[in-house]
A and B are shown apart, each in its own frame.
Chain A
């Protein structure tokens, strides 16, 4: 397998002083018949070339919505982007005309979804679906596209790729379908790959294979990756940095090592304490009390305060801003320092 053939052009340089992809103070609402749900409330994060950012959070925390906003595939209505910027190579995607926006999709930034069975079109063969953008957008001939599709399917380790071009999605196993999905996302050599819960719908053993594949591909093809997940276990081996989301905000942002060693937000701390550890015997597993907030009635002050063991009156009254800790990590908690010190102990 020659990766040079797969990726002929080197990644274009990031403009000096800027990030490859940057989300700045994004606000998104969903307007429905029952009211307005504030789904994204000032999310900011960035991604540099060649790195993997994990975005972690419960369902409803807004991690997938942010990803769809980056791709420009949010359904508007009901979604309304209130404010913010999404900069890719310095250009704000949100202000681009639709035609230029479309050019970015798939070619610069690609996405893979959680449920590959419903995300693939049931009535077209997988080879056709993987090669569609090559024929439609790259102007490849059928034969060239076909050869490239086989190459892509080999790349994602689908056995007997050439013989499976004509098969339909429902004829593949769950893991193989997700590989088809990945091959489709890679077709146009994107510089950023967003993986939205890529392993949630899969068996545990298959999950590990897909995560390994994604990590290898990211390295070999020199892409940057945003890995969206609710599973802390998935993140550890793959990500460089982690952004933890809660109620449409980034509550903590740190490199993987320091976050695992000493979380600086009570929510992250709670998450880490709720997974079993192999290196500690007889440890009691704790849970985070309460339920995720109703996005139509987000609690005042710090949205986590009703569930937080550290909560004081200030948490009810004042929205905490990102507190930059000494080692460059941030935490949106009034008591970030104490939480981290507690955790480090």
Chain B
């Protein structure tokens, strides 16, 4: 178990360096004026230029200079010092303010996924080829095939603006109700995937030999399905949900942007729109770390859940 965790940890560290190096190289290396690349088409004031040059050590040159700057960036990232956005605000402060909102939204999406997706998946898996099963298959295919940039604005228009069932946009301090529709939209993709995954997993496990054994032991059906089958079929589902929570926290760019929810994704959305390079790099760096850590947690979780991997 310990060896397994250590190996995963090593892999994560490698992935961390690889990813941040790529992020950094693409943002800052190459020809032209790196400061202008950061700022995009916006004019750069002398003060901003001086700040960025000092912040990223842009006066050093060559490969050595690049690596120096890269490790400097890593050091700052690990210390939580993300620098300032082009508007002069501390990126760290922006993230601290935005994070709770994003977590709340992700948890709503996750709740929707678990309550509806996993439950319906279990039912569909048990009643394979029934009307319920077939209709969930069609519905989930539809959800999987509709991109968020279609789903989010259309949900906002029809449910928010036209029929006024939900607030069309969330304000600066969104309450639970305002986050509900965005949460459902954000969770719909995970819901569909979780449903299909659960269905397949339950259906496969129902045909496993150990189910026949459990029946021959004279256990009641509820226990066979509820304990033996679920324990096995939920292993991949829980793993997926773990990965998905990481995704939801880093992947809410569109949803938060469309519904005006002041979370991390919204700030990234705005940073892209306003060509605020430092803000984008800062947020992306943090999100990549969150993503990598959540993947590690999921791998360990998988090992905890599946004894076959634990004792490998």
Enumerate chain A interface residues (CB-CB to B < 8 A): 68, 71-73, 102-107, 110-111, 113, 115, 118-124, 132-133, 136-137, 168, 170-171, 181, 184
Contacts and interface: CB of A to CB of B under 8 A. Distances in A.
Contact of A111 (B216, B219, B307): B216
Given A113-B209, A170-B307, A121 B216 contact: no
Interface size of B as a range: 20 to 34
B31 to A, nearest CB: 56
B33 interface: no
Interface in B277-312: 305-308, 311
Contact of B210 (A102, A105, A121): A121
Contacts of B119: none
A105 B311 contact: no
B218 A121 contact: no
A133 B232 contact: no
B3 interface: no
A119 B217 CA distance: 12
Interface in B208-223: 208-210, 212-220, 223
From B210, B214, B223, B231, name the one whose CB has the most chain A CB atoms within 10 angstroms.
Answer: B210
From B208, B216, B228, B307, name the one whose CB has the most chain A CB atoms within 10 angstroms.
Answer: B216
A106 to B, nearest CB: 4
16 contacts: A71-B216, A73-B212, A73-B215, A73-B216, A102-B220, A105-B218, A110-B217, A115-B209, A120-B213, A121-B231, A121-B232, A122-B210, A122-B308, A123-B235, A136-B219, A168-B308
Contacts of A123: 231-232, 235, 305-307
Contacts of B235: 123
B232 A137 contact: no
A104 B208 CA distance: 22
B217 A105 contact: yes
Contacts of B216: 71, 73, 105-106, 110-111
A278 to B, nearest CB: 36
A148 B308 CA distance: 26
A91 to B, nearest CB: 16
Contacts of A106: 216-218
A118 B212 CA distance: 10
A123 B223 CA distance: 15
Contacts of B214: 121
A71 B235 CA distance: 30
A111 B220 CA distance: 17
A110 to B, nearest CB: 7
Contacts of B210: 118-122
From A71, A119, A120, A137, name the one whose CB has the most chain B CB atoms within 10 angstroms.
Answer: A119
